[in-house]
Amino acid sequence: MLGKVKPRLGIFYSTPEKDAEVQGMIDAAKLYFKGAGWNIPASPDALAVEAVILYCKMAQSTDPSVLVNHPVLLSYIAQGRAGNAQIQPDDSG
């Protein structure tokens, strides 16, 4: 998942320190979702990857003391917990 998350965070280089930092955010995201009742599998689907990326973006740019439950994160959790882990196209427009 590291290879999918880093570019979405704007990180296009690799050092052991930076990789460890991003992996730590990924691990924290997985624990956050596990605490909400959604276990991210070892081979995550697109919804799980997007949820982890959003969490990492928030963790990267938000003071941990004010990090709150984002409505989109809550939506991802609900979809993941329901087993409906496919992103549906928007046919409204």
Mean pLDDT, the chain cut into blocks of 10 residues (93 residues total): 96 96 95 92 93 91 72 88 65 64
Domain presence at residue 88: no
Residue 59 lies in a domain: yes
Share of the chain above pLDDT 70, in %: 85
User: What is the value of pTM for the model shown?
Assistant: 0.80
Contact 79, 47 (CB under 8 A): yes
Residue 76 lies in a domain: yes
Per-residue pLDDT, 74 = 87
Q: Is residue 92 one of the residues assigned to a domain?
A: no
DSSP state of 62: S
* Pick from 39, 44, 89, 50: nearest CA to 73: 50
Distance between CA atoms of residues 9 and 18, nearest Å: 12
Domain span at 72? 2-9+16-82
Counted domains in the chain: 1
What is the pLDDT, as a whole number, of residue 34? 93
Q: What is the DSSP code (8-state) at residue 45?
A: -
Q: Would residue 77 count as lying in a domain?
A: yes
